[in-house]
C-alpha cells in the first residue's frame, strides 16, 4: 500500500478482523450515532432556557430545564464512557487474536524467510505494527464517524437557528480546511518516517545484541555505537518533525476559532439588537462553534491515525500472505516408539574424555 493512497479494500480487510466481536462493533456504531444529537442538545436546551425561562421570568420552568440539562449531561457522560471503553476493548480483542495468528504463521514459515528478514523487522510486525492496528478501531473508523455525525448535526441546528449567523461563522472555515489538509500531509509524512526509523532501530538492536559476541571479537564496539547514534538521531528527528506539525497546527486552529467567534459576536450583537436573533441563540452559538471546530480539528489527526493503521495492517498482512510454509509430508506415525538408553557406556565415555584432558594438561 502506498502511503499517499487510501485503500478501501484494505480497510475492509482490517474491519473483517472484528467479525468475532461484532456485538462490540455494532454497540460502538450505535453509540456513535446516538451521541451526536445528544451532545448538541445541550446548547439547544440552554438557548430555550434563556429565551423562555430567564428573559421571561419562570422559576419553575427554569428549574425544570436545569434538571433536564443535568440529566442529559449524565446520560451523555455514561454513554461516552461506554463508547470509549467498547471501542478500545474491541481494538484490544482484535489485536490479541492477530498477535497469536501472526506468531503462529511465522513459526511455520520456511527458514529462508528468517535468512532474508531481520529479526527486528519480524518483531516490529508482531508488536508495533499490530499495536498500531488497534488505533483503527479505538481512534479511527468509529470515532471518525462519530465526529462527522456531530459536525453535520451541529451545522443543521445552527442553520435552523440562524442561517445568517451561521454564514458569518463559516467565513473562516476555508482557512481551517486548508490548515487541516496541510497538517494532515505533514504529520502523515512524519509518522511514516517514525515507523521506518523505528523498524531500523529494532532491527539494529536485535541483530547486534544477539550477535554481541561477534561485535566484541572484532572490537567493533565504537563503530557500531556510531552507527546506532545515527539511527537514533534519525528516529528522534522524525518524532520532532511530527511534534513541530502539532505545535504549529493547534495554535493556528485556535486563532481561526477565535476569529470565527469574534465575527459571530460582532454580527450577533447587531442581529440581537435588531431582533433577528434571540439572546438565547447568541449565547448558544459559541457552544455550537466549539462543538463544530473541535471535531474538525481532530479529524485531520484521526484520519492520519487511520492511515498509519492501514499502512501497519498492510505490512502485517504481507507476512500473513506469505504462504511459503514448511510442508508436513511425513506419513510415519507409530503408536509407540521403543528404544533403550545405555547410561553405563555414556559414563565410561565421559570419564575417558576427562582422563585424556588431564593427561594433556599435566604432561
Q: Domains in the chain, please, with CATH?
A: 8-324 (1.20.1560.10)
Place of cell 492501514: 310
CA angle 109, 111, 116 (to 5 degrees): 100
The stretches of the chain forming alpha helices (DSSP H) are 8-15, 22-49, 59-106, 111-116, 119-124, 130-135, 141-161, 163-169, 173-210, 212-217, 221-274, 279-320, 343-362
Cell 514459515 found at: 109
In the DSSP assignment, the letter for residue 277 is S
Res 37: pLDDT:
86
Task: List the Cα angle 83/88/92 in 5-degree steps.
Answer: 150
**Contact, 249 vs 179, CB < 8 A?**
yes
Classified as helix, coil or strand, 109 is strand
* pLDDT for 362: 54
Q: What angle do CA 188, 194, 199 make, to 5 degrees?
A: 130
Asked whether 17 and 130 are in contact (CB, 8 A), the reply is no
Distances in Å between the alpha carbon of 231 and those of 21, 207, 242? Answer: 40, 14, 17
The radius of gyration of the chain's CA atoms, rounded to the nearest angstrom, is 31
The x, y and z cell numbers of residue 289, run together, are 462553534
Distances (CA, A) of 142 to 19, 27, 30, 85: 15, 10, 10, 13
Contact 280, 48 (CB under 8 A): yes
**Residues 187-221 as b or e (16 or more Cβ within 10 Å = b):** bbbbbbbbbebbbbbbbbebbbeeeeeebeeeeee
Report d(CA 17, CA 20) in Å as an integer. Answer: 7
Instruction: Give residue 330's pLDDT.
Output: 66
Answer for the pair 153, 37: CB distance below 8 angstroms, yes or no: yes
Per-residue pLDDT of the chain (363 residues; tens, 9 = 90+): 555 556 778 888 898 999 999 999 999 989 988 988 888 888 888 888 888 888 788 888 888 988 999 999 999 999 999 999 999 999 999 999 999 999 988 888 888 888 787 777 788 788 888 888 888 888 878 888 888 888 888 888 888 888 888 888 888 888 888 888 888 788 878 888 888 888 888 888 888 888 888 888 888 888 989 999 999 999 999 889 888 888 888 888 888 888 888 888 888 887 777 777 788 888 888 888 888 888 887 787 788 788 888 888 888 998 888 887 777 666 777 777 676 655 565 666 666 666 655 555 555
- Which cell numbers hold the place of 225? 555505537
Give the sign of the dihedral formed by CA 242, CA 246, CA 248, CA 249: positive
The predicted pLDDT at position 343 comes to 59
Local structure of residue 326 (DSSP, 8 states): P
Residue 147: partners with Cβ closer than 8 Å, 6 or more residues away: 295, 296, 298, 299, 302
Cell of 164: 445568517
Cα separation, 43 vs 20, in Å, equals 39
> Which residues neighbour 82 within 8 Å (Cβ) at sequence distance 6 or greater?
27, 31
> Does residue 249 sit in helix, strand or coil?
helix
Is the separation of the CB atoms in 111 and 196 below 8 Å?
no
How far apart, in whole angstroms, are the C-alpha atoms of residue 167 and residue 159? 8
Amino acid at each position: 500500500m502506498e502511503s499517499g493512497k487510501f485503500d478501501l479494500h484494505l480497510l475492509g480487510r482490517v474491519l473483517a478482523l472484528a467479525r468475532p466481536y461484532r456485538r462490540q462493533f455494532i454497540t460502538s456504531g450505535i453509540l456513535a450515532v446516538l451521541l451526536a444529537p445528544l451532545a448538541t442538545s445541550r446548547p439547544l436546551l440552554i438557548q430555550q432556557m434563556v429565551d423562555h425561562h430567564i428573559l421571561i421570568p419562570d422559576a419553575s420552568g427554569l428549574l425544570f430545564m436545569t434538571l433536564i440539562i443535568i440529566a442529559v449531561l449524565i446520560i451523555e457522560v455514561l454513554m461516552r464512557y461506554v463508547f470509549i471503553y467498547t471501542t478500545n476493548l474491541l481494538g484490544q480483542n482484535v489485536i490479541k487474536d492477530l498477535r497469536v495468528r501472526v506468531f503462529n504463521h511465522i513459526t511455520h514459515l520456511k527458514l529462508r524467510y528468517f535468512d532474508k528478514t531481520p529479526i527486528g523487522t519480524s518483531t516490529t510486525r508482531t508488536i508495533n505494527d499490530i499495536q498500531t492496528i488497534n488505533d483503527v478501531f479505538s481512534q479511527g473508523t468509529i470515532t471518525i464517524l462519530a465526529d462527522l455525525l456531530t459536525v453535520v448535526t451541529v451545522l443543521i441546528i445552527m442553520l435552523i437557528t440562524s442561517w445568517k449567523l451561521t454564514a458569518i461563522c463559516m467565513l473562516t472555515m476555508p482557512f481551517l480546511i486548508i490548515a487541516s489538509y496541510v497538517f494532515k500531509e505533514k504529520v502523515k509524512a512524519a509518522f511514516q518516517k517514525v515507523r521506518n526509523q523505528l523498524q531500523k532501530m529494532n532491527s539494529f538492536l536485535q541483530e547486534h545484541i544477539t550477535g554481541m559476541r561477534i561485535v566484541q571479537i572484532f572490537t567493533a564496539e565504537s563503530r557500531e555505537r556510531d552507527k546506532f547514534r545515527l539511527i537514533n538521531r534519525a528516529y528522534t528527528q522524525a518524532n520532532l518533525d511530527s511534534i513541530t506539525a502539532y505545535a504549529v497546527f493547534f495554535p493556528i486552529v485556535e486563532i481561526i476559532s477565535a476569529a470565527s467567534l469574534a465575527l459571530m459576536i460582532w454580527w450577533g450583537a447587531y442581529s440581537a439588537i435588531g431582533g433577528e436573533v434571540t439572546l438565547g441563540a447568541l449565547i448558544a452559538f459559541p457552544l455550537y462553534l466549539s462543538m463544530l471546530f473541535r471535531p474538525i480539528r481532530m479529524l485531520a489527526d484521526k484520519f492520519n491515525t487511520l492511515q498509519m493503521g492501514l499502512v501497519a495492517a498492510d505490512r502485517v498482512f504481507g507476512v500473513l500472505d506469505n504462504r511459503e510454509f514448511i510442508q508436513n509430508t511425513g506419513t510415519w506415525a507409530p503408536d509407540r516408539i521403543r528404544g533403550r538408553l545405555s547410561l553405563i557406556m555414556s559414563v565410561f565415555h565421559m570419564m575417558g574424555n576427562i582422563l585424556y584432558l588431564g593427561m594433556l594438561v599435566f604432561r
